[in-house]
């Protein structure tokens, strides 16, 4: 059995984005980010922990790796490609 210091999380690939999923997305600029979708009360945009109620969060829920989504912020349409989806298990 591992001690708490030795515990590591494993990234488990999943098919569809759901609350708790960590997602790698790529913007049209070529910038890729990894963010986690959470309930609205747990958000931390500075650490890319985004709400399922945010424009990006809503657009991503239920989608799969390889999908492209478009979401709107301040009347600007933003397109992202979903690169990878996983869940962290300890």
Contact predicate 41/34, CB 8 Å: no
Q: What pTM was computed for the model?
A: 0.81
Q: Give pLDDT, residue 4.
A: 46
Pick the residue with more confidence: 44 or 14? Answer: 44
The structural domains of the chain, with segments of one domain joined by +, span: 10-89
Instruction: Tell me how long the chain is.
Output: 90
Q: What is the mean pLDDT of residues 16-41?
A: 95
Q: Which of 81, 67, 75 shows the shortest CA–CA distance to 31?
A: 81
CATH topology of domain 10-89: Chitinase A; domain 3 (3.10.50)
């Amino acid at each position: 059995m591992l001690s708490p210091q030795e515990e590591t999380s494993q990234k488990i690939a999943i098919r569809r984005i759901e609350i708790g999923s960590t997602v790698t997305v790529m913007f049209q600029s070529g910038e890729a980010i990894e963010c986690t979708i959470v309930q609205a009360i747990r958000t931390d945009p500075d650490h890319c922990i985004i709400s399922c109620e945010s424009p990006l969060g809503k657009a991503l829920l239920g989608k799969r790796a390889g999908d492209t989504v478009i979401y709107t912020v301040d009347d600007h349409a933003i397109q992202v490609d979903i690169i990878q989806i996983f869940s962290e298990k300890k």
